[in-house]
Each structure stands twice: as structure tokens, then as C-alpha cells.
Structure 1
Amino acid sequence: MSAIELRDPNLVMRLARLGSFHQSRLSFMRVLTRRLASEGWRFEQTAFDVDDIGVGHAVYTAHGPDHSYSLVAFAHDLPPESRSDRVIAEAWDATFTLFDGVPTDADIARLSQNIPLQEAGRVTSRELSVSRANRSVRLWEHVVSQLAAGQQPDTDQIEAVGYLMRTTAVYGSGKLGAADREMLADRPEFQSPFQVEMLSVFLTRWFVRDLVQHMADTRAAAAGQTAAALDPGIARSLGIGNSTGLGMAPFLLNHPLLFNNWITAREEAIRLVRDIETATPAEVTLFRELVQRSQTTIAAWRSDHPAQVKKLADLRADLASITTYLDGFSFSDSHPWDRLFQWAVANLTSEGQEWLASLMLEPYGAKVDHLAARMAADTNANFRISGGMTVGAMRKQIADIYGWALDTDWKMPANKARAWYVSEEKLEPRLGERFEEPIEEYEQPLAPGRDAAALFEALTHWPDDVQIAEFLLRHPRHRHTVRRVQIVGRAPYAEIRDNTISSTILPIDMLRCKLSFFGATQFDPRSDRWVRICLYGNAPYPDELSPDNADFWIYPDVTEAST
């Protein structure tokens, strides 16, 4: 039996550590591209009907072993005053749906009347996702004008932004009337979480590349010239941007089983690699190569937010320490990855530790990639409260899981300074100041630590051998907390073990944690409540995808980066 155990949830599930997670082999984008390549998916552009001012539609179809899926994209001429990244916006530069199958002309006509309206439109179960995107205006104009003049865009400007369009929402799983997840869960390509959304974004990036080239060609033709073709290397460096705010943060609290499965898969992968007794020369060579390639990403990562500036400084200092340590490290001795991991725990910040933990997985796809299939969860399951559980067992479970919460003085204003609510005006989750705004009556149940402490106190005078059902008959307001404690008792990584309503909470930690599982890189917070990221930067386009380039594209090639 292995001597290496999974890491303690009391360590892993603290917000500061969750906010230091990095992408890995189990990130959803990489799970998708590996599958598409290994199964030999075929891609084609089946329509591109866009006029000279950039209005029209296009269709991009992915053909898999059993099903085909089509991105139906609508391009719009959006006035500058109508451009907004807010959820409540009503117009966008482009709107999209991922269609189950190959759409007919009648389907496209129906979609053209609905998808551009987003929330105001109507979709059916043939639509798997609905999304929208806006241009990065200055970079878009720069690329179009340079190509139209027969020149390539400036790479410094490309690197400073990283994308030509950014999505402001990608909705799936039944949102707006689209297909519910349970309708698709049996399809192998959608076993892992968020594969519908990741496929939509993957195809969206292809459309954006074609659209910017089309606009450059149109402008050049109007001037009697021929536009330059966008350099393939520059095109690959461009991803799809995303602006993510507080709306994503409650997801981790509202989907405890799903969150548990994500973290469990990552922790099990780390454990499996730490337990490897000997590393082969090929595995060591790949690891060292990816360490070097990672330096390119980290060196190019920029942010002006003070918290992220510090994290970046920590990560760069840790990377320098790792590089120095690896110069004298022997991979030929027993359990090299565990020794390297233990050294990191003793010598690096959580940023460096989690970066190294992700990178250690890279040579071992054969050992860890199967874990991606375990990351989904039936979030609609009705988990009944076990009423036969004794009060004593409940108290012990609360103490084990929420010890930090029992040590918190919940009467202190600083420990309950914030309150989560949904803004009626913006229709988005908000984190307000409890004692400065009239929001407490609208508070969402997103403080499980406080609730667990309240339950523990309510149980104080109840005998240990009484069943929890009897307690709940007297105190039904604690039902949701009892249920949650029982869920976390079976799913130890389901709960964030930190105060989510304190005066010092940084929601950006929740955002970064979730986005790391998507596969995002180069987080650029604009505050502690919203962040810009890039998806699929450096990835091959669908028409370039092959088993040779489907996996490690996340790490820029050192030779390409230096040219």
C-alpha cells in the first residue's frame, strides 16, 4: 500500500492556497484538445457569409466518432456606445451557439432571430451553449489596419493583450433553454465538466481569426490593395479573452460535490506522481523542458493589481529557486517527485508549490489523465439528510471540518463584515458591506462556516445519543447546514475552509481557483473581484490540431518565443 497520502483538506482548501492553483493536465481545455486529437475529430468551415462591414454569420463544424457539433456565429456592427462587458448588456460584437449536429438553412434562420438577442431570445435543446463576445477594440483595429496595409501586426501589442475578442458569457447546462447537462452526460466527449463550453470557445477562436482576416481583406480591396495573411505564429499566440467577475465565485460554494471532485482528481494525480519510485530519463527530460518553457509564460505575465503583483514576485522568486535546486537534484534516487515536492513545501510559497505540483504531472499522462472522467458530478441528485445520525456524531463532524469556524468570533464585526446578495439592477452576485448597506435581508446562504458554527452552538445542550432528526424537528432552520455537513463528511474537498464573509476575503482567490481548472493562464485581476484571462493562447487551431500538438501547447515553445 502506498505511503503517500492525499493532502489534508485543512491545508488545500484554504482560500490563499486555492488562489494559487495553476492549470494542469486535468484542466478542461487540455482534456478537450487531447480527446479531439486522439479520436481524430474532423473540422470544417461550412459557411462564412459576412459582408464588407462585418455583419453576417459563419458555421464551423466538428465531426466526432458519433456526433457532430456546429458553432453558429453571428457577427454584428456594434456602435461603440453599445459595447459593454456587463451581463446586462443587450448588444455585442459577436454572438454564438453550439448546435447539436449540422444546422439546416431553416435552423440558421431561426437562430439568427434569437441568438443575437441572447437572454431575450429563445433557444431549444438542439442548442448546447449560448455565448457572446466583444472585440478588444484597439488591438482589433491595429491588426486589421496592419494586415490591410500588407504588414504584420506588432508583436508587442499582441503580447500586451493576447486576444482579439473576449467572451462576456458562455452559457451551457440548460441556461436560456439550451440542452440540460443530463441530456449530454452519456456522450463520452462530454464526460468531463465544461466540455461543451470549452468546445464552443475553441471554435470561436477559429471564427475570430477568420473574421479579422476577412475585415483586413475587405479594407485592402477597397483601397485596391492585397492584405497580408496573418502570420500563423502570431495567430496561434492569440487566445480568447474572458472577463470574469463575482458571478463565478459563488459557483464553488453552490456546487460542493462538483468542487470536491475537481480537487480530489488533482490531489489524487499529485499523490500518484509523488508515489512513483523511479523516473525514466525521458520523463525527466520532458519535465526539465517544460520548466524552461514555463519561464516564458511567467516572464510575460503582467498585472497592476497589488495582490497579483506580490503573487507574481513570489512565483518568479520560487522559479529561480527551483531552477537552482534542479541543477543539483538527482532524479535517479528513490521517489524523486516526492522528494522534490517535500523540498518545495519547505522552501517555496504556496504559489511555487502549486505551480510545481501541476508541472510534476506533465510526464505522466498515462497515470493521471483517466482522472478527468471522475471530475463530473450529478449536482441535481437529491441527497437526503441522514436523520439517524446522532447529535454526538454531528458535533464531531463539525469540529473536524469546521474547526477554523468554531475558533472564529462571529460577534466581531470584521468577521461578518460582508454579505453576498444578487443585485436587482445588474442581475449579478455582489459582495456588499453588511454594516454600511441595507442588504442583510437579501443575503445569500454563502457563509457555510458561520452557519456551521451556529449549528454547533445550537447543539450544545442536546444529548450525544439523540438523533439529528429530532433536533431538526425543533430547529428546521438548520436543515441546510446539517445536509451540507453530511455532504462534506463524504466529500472532504467540497468545502472552502475559510471565512467567506470576513472583511479581508479576496474573492479573486475563488475566481482563480475555478479558472485554473478551465486551463486559464496569466491571470490579470482588475480588482479583488474581477479578472481578465486568456483561453487557448498558443493552442493549435482546429484545422491544425494533431496528436503531436494537442497537449503541451499551453507551454510556449522557447525557440518560437525568442524569435
Structure 2
Amino acid sequence: MTTSATIRAALRGSNALPLRSPDLVMNLERLGSMHQSRLSFMRILVRRIMRERWQISASLVDLDHEGYGTFVYRIKASHGVFSFVIFSNYLSSDERNDRVIATKWDLTMALVEGEVDSVYLERLRQNVPKQEAGRVDSRVFVLSRANRSARNFDYVVDQLASGKQPDIEKITDIGYLYRTTAVYGSGKLGMADWEKVKHNWPDFERPFSAEMFVCFMIRNFSLFQAEHIAQHKSATTFTPMDVNIKRYFGIGNSTGLGMAPYLVNHPVLINQWITMRELGLARVRTLGYIDHRVQRHFEELLSRCIQHTQETKTEDEWQTQNNLQVVKELSALQSSEHQQVSSWDSLMSWSEAHCSLQTQELLVSILLELYPELVDDLEDHHCEEEFLDLDPVMPVQTLKEVIEQSYRWALDIDFTKEGAKETFWYRSEDKMEPRLGNAEKEQGKSKQMALGVGYAVRKCYDQLCAYVAENPEHTTARFMVAAPKLRGIVRRIQSMNRCMYGDIQGNLLDRNVLPMHLLRAKLAFFGVSKFDPRSKLWVRNTMYQGAPLLEDIGGTFNDDWFMPLAPKQ
């Protein structure tokens, strides 16, 4: 039985767990209000590394006193050996650019199968620093680059070199030394594709685990490099970084429109991710026993989330107001009669009536954190084959009913309204990255990406209704002969009828669409925090803040770095 069939079987029957409605969960703004949780991919990966005690050590350290050169980590995982190859090059401040148009970076990296010899290392050196302009082979399965934080890196080096620790308040503003500007995988630029990674390298068989591992390793290298430079700068006064401050450093990330289409183009996989999260929540709402220990843990997490949100710095007014609202609502919950919760189901119902979307979804993450015994086994079910199949024998009457039942949200959108079809998505010629265009002012709508699912459903439904009126006994196959251009959307409609979640309920063609919601939803599944929107098109955030360090592997492990707080100094 497939994973999706197993889940569907588990949900059938009168005793099925009470999952939230797709109309509620798949609302675009709610998806853009999600937070990291213990089912996020970073948390899952770190649990695996710590439990399986991966052996990660430096196999080549060829850095000068300023930290430039080559560094190679050897990774002995449970099922194989891998190498993480890093090239560190001088980059002037005027050349440092986080946008995808950049051609130079402080660090460029590759995750490679097996160990690398001098010949293969030289081949990587000729291509990895070029990123999109270079080419690699299928031994490589992740390629990435990162830039130093202009405000943090030199400051931290100077502090350590002079025998001091970095000031916590300064670090709280920017909790990283480097930020990634791209993490490529899945066959791009000649790399191994996802099918090869999933079947040949079981250590990275879960979605995006290899990409998340690269970010984990960049974070650890950034800390090593800062200490390396500081020690060479002043060996007599140098002091290592305090381990609690070290753990508080994450890795920064800049994410633009590049990942936005993924959520639309992989509806079956997204359905699986959402279903696991919603199934975890349903288990907690139904089975989560509340005793004094759980109540105390809940109160601790409320306090932690309040402080973490207060420590999140952003220049964006919209996000600032959202953060203030979250703090206000969680603080009210702390001091109200709801603090002594009688059931998690009643708490969630109360939050839906009285709290903002961001607070509601943060409470979901908190509840998942309380019950690892009810949630963690779901981490094994995030994979699903992305296959949309056409059912040619489905009667057209049935197809019409499926649209009316499953796509009511699309039929309710008024596409005749001004601005309802003003935005179109396309890929740039230079970097093949998604961009937004204005259909009324710009040429190029003919090259648009098929992301307007709601509008496609509307057009399909209108043509289908006319066809059914004349041919009520026909099958979908006959309809496809009459309207062949609708084959793609019909295939999607029929396939998604077997899924509870998956289709994002929003008009992505609207003049006022916020791609930020798509970015945040995917980043929340990754496990990032401290969202800092720079526009409606890209966002900065922090990854792995509070996570274990390489030196923690093999020691005791408390999987408790959800919403980390600044250490006391």
C-alpha cells in the first residue's frame, strides 16, 4: 500500500481523527502564517544525525590566516560516506550581492558522494565557484553559495581576537555569520537528480534533506572560520567562542521567487507535507493528555515564543505589526482563563475565533512540540510520487461535480474584477528564475508559467458546463477530444480529488498577490525562523539557530531548540 493510501485508510471511518478543513488550511494567507515545527525538515535531519551519530570531521584544511582557501569535511553517515567541499575566496564589499544575478560569493560549496581525491577536487575548484556558469557531474547532489554578514562577521572575529565574547544584543539583531543565497539540487547544472539521491543514498532519502544538510554544514564552517581567523589575528589574546553563543548562531538565508512555483507545481507532494502536519495536530487535539508536566511545558513554550518573537528584528512594517500582534495575543493567553487548558481541541477552536492567523499557526507548532510520541513517526511519510493521472472514463457529469465540490474556492473568485488577472509569472532568460509581470503594461504574457490554477479551473468549468449541456452522457475522454488544451488542468483536477490538501486556495494572478505567503509556507516546512521580508518578492530568515553543533554529535541530545532564545551573558 502506498503512503497516500495508508494515510487515507487511517483517516476513513467513524473514528477518523478530526482534520482541519482544506478550505481553512489551504488559504493562501494562512499558509503564509506558518511557523517551524518539530516536523520541519531541519528538525527531522538533526534528529537523524544525532541519533545515528554521524561522524563528521575535517579531511582537508587548506586555509590561509584570513580564512581563504579550501576546506573539506568527511561525512560518515549510516549508509555511506560523503564529502562537503568548500571554497573560500576574497570578495570585496562592493562585489557582495545576495541577488541571483551575482557572479561572485564569499563561499561556494558542493556536497559530493564519496571521498574526493586531488584530481576531482581540482575539477570542483574549476566549476563550483562559478555556480550556474560551471558544470558538475552526478557525484555532486547539492551546490550552494553564501555571503558574509557585513555587520557581524568582522565584528565577531575582532571580539574573539581581543579575548572578548560577541555582545548578545548585537547578535540578536542578526543571528548568523553567513547567509546562503541559493541551494541547488535535483539535477540542476549536471548534478544527480532526486530519483538517484532518493534511491542510491538513503541518508538523504527525505525531501530536501541534502539541501538542509548543506545549510547545517555552512553554519558550522562559518563558526570554525571565524575562530580560525581570530586566532591567527592575535594568538596571544584569542579566546574561543562560548559554546552557548555558538549554538545561538544560525545560518542566514535570502530567498526570492525561485522557490514559489514549487508549491504550485508539486501539489501531490505538498498534500503529503500538509497532511502529516494536520494529522499530527489532529492526534494532539484528540489524544494529547494534559497533566501538570504538559501544562508546565505548554506555559514554558508560550513564554519562549513570546520572547523569541520579541527578539525577531525586521525593518518591514507589515511583519513588525504581525509580530506585535502575536506577542499581544500570546501574552493575553498566558494571563487569561485559557491558560489552564481543559483540552487542546477547545484551545484551537478558541484561537480560530479570537487570534490572528500567525498566532493560530504558532499554536499549532507549540502543540506539536508537546507530544513527540504522537508526532515524530510522521517524519517518515513526507515523500510521495508526484504523478497526475488522467481518468478518461470518468463521466463528464462526475467531473463537473468534482470541480464544484473540490474547487468551490476557484469558482468563487471573480476573475472579471479589475486586476484579477493582472499578474503573470514567467522565467527570466538570463537566470531562468521566476519573475512577475504586469499583463496590462508588459509584453510576455504568452510566456507565462501555468501557476494560475484557480483561473484555469474556472475556464475549464465554463467550457465543461457548456459541453455537459449538449453531451451529458459523454466521458472525460470525449471532452478531451473536444478541448485538448484543457488536458493538463483536467488531469490535475482528477488527481487532486484523491488528496485532501495540495491546491493553494488563492488567485496567484491577482494584482495584489503576495508571493511572500508562498515563500514563507515552504520555508516553514524547511524549519526557518525570524522572517524578515525585504519586499513582497523576497525574504531574509535564519536557519539552525539554537541547533546542536558538530562537536555535540555523540553526546547527550535534547531535541529542544524550537524557537531559540538569546543566551544570557
TM-score w.r.t. length of structure 1? 0.94
| 2:374 equivalent among 340, 352, 367 | 367
CA RMSD between the two structures = 1.9
Cα drift, residue 316 of structure 1: 1.1
Distance 1:327 1:488, change over 3 A: closer
Following superposition, the deviation at residue 340 of structure 1 comes to: 1.8
**CA–CA distance in structure 2, aligned partners of residues 10 and 545 of structure 1:** 42
Query: What SS does structure 1 have at the residue aligned with 2:420?
Result: helix
**Offset from partner CA, 1:39-87 (integer Å, 9 cap, x none):** 1222212221111343211112222222122211110011333222122
Residue 540 (str. 1) matches residue 553 (str. 2): no
Partner of 1:230: 241
2:210 counterpart of 1:196: yes
1:251 matched residue in structure 2: 262
Q: Find the aligned partners of 1:293 and 1:218 in 2 and give their Cα distance.
A: 38
Q: Distance in 2 between matches of 1:465 and 1:323?
A: 60
Aligned counterparts of 1:423 and 1:66: Cα–Cα separation in 2 = 39
- Report the AA paired with residue 280 of structure 2: A
Size of the alignment, in residue pairs?
Answer: 552
Alignment of 1:107-506 (within 5 A): 107-186=120-199, 187-220=201-234, 225-276=236-287, 278-325=289-336, 328-331=339-342, 336-379=343-386, 381=387, 383-463=388-468, 464-506=472-514
* Contact 1:13-1:496 within 8 A present in 2 as well: yes
Distance between the aligned counterparts of 1:181 and 1:162, measured in 2? 31
> Which piece of structure 1 moves more, 73-82 or 481-490?
73-82
- Give, in angstroms, the shift of residue 369 of structure 1: 1.2
Deviation at 1:319, TM superposition (A): 0.7
Q: Aligned-pair distance for 1:293?
A: 2.1
- 1:252-275, Cα deviation, whole Å (9 max, x unpaired): 111111111111110111111111
Give, as a single letter, the amino acid of the residue that structure 1 aligns with 2:348.
F
AA paired with 1:422? R
Change (3 A) 1:135 1:393: same
SS class of match (1:283): helix
Letter in 2 for 1:406: L
The residue matched to 1:44 in structure 2 has which SS?
strand
Classify 1:169/1:282 alpha carbon distance in 2 versus 1 (closer, same or farther; 3 Å). Answer: same
The equivalent residue for 2:108 is: 95
Aligned: 1:561 with 2:564:
no
Contact 2:31 2:521 in 1 (8 A): yes
Distance 2:298 2:554 in 1: 21
Q: Give the drift of 1:180.
A: 1.4
Mapped contact 1:71–1:204 kept (Cα < 8 A): no
445-454 or 57-66, which deviates more = 57-66
Equivalent of 2:538 in 518, 530, 537:
530
Once residues 248 and 197 of structure 1 are traced to their aligned partners in structure 2, the CA distance between those partners, rounded to angstroms, is 13
Encode CA deviations 1:85-140: one digit per residue, 9 max, x unaligned. 12232211011011112222333222112211112222122212110001112311
CA distance in 2, matches of 1:388, 1:326: 56
8 Å Cα contact 2:247/2:545 also seen in 1: yes
User: TM (normalized to structure 2)?
Assistant: 0.93
Give the C-alpha shift of residue 162 in structure 1.
1.0
Q: Tell me the CA shift for residue 546 of structure 1.
A: 5.2
One-letter amino acid matched to 2:464: L
What does residue 7 of structure 2 align with?
Answer: none
Alpha-carbon distance in structure 1 between the residues aligned to 2:164 and 2:390:
65
By how many angstroms is 1:310 displaced?
A: 2.5
Per-residue Cα deviation, 1:280-334 (whole angstroms, up to 9, x for no partner): 4433333332222222211101222232122212211221122123675144xxx
Per-residue displacement from partner, 1:124-166 (whole Å, max 9, x unpaired)? 2221211000111231121122222222222222111111111
CA distance in 2 between counterparts of 1:294 and 1:547 reads: 27
Matched with 1:17 is 30
CA offsets 1:418-472 (integer angstroms, 9 cap, x no match): 1111122453211122112223122111100000000000012223331111111
8 Å contact kept, 2:329–2:355: yes
Go from structure 1 to structure 2 and tell me whether the alpha carbon gap of 1:460 and 1:328 turns closer, same or farther (over 3 Å shift). Answer: closer
- 1:514 — aligned with what? 522
Moved more, 139-148 or 128-137: 139-148
- Measure, in 2, the Cα distance between the counterparts of 1:7 and 1:318: 22
SS at match of 2:152: helix
Q: What is the aligned counterpart of 1:42 among 55, 66, 79?
A: 55
What is the rounded CA distance, in whole Å, between the counterparts of 1:378 and 1:404 in structure 2? 26
- Identical pairs, percent: 39
Deviation at 1:210, TM superposition (A): 1.0
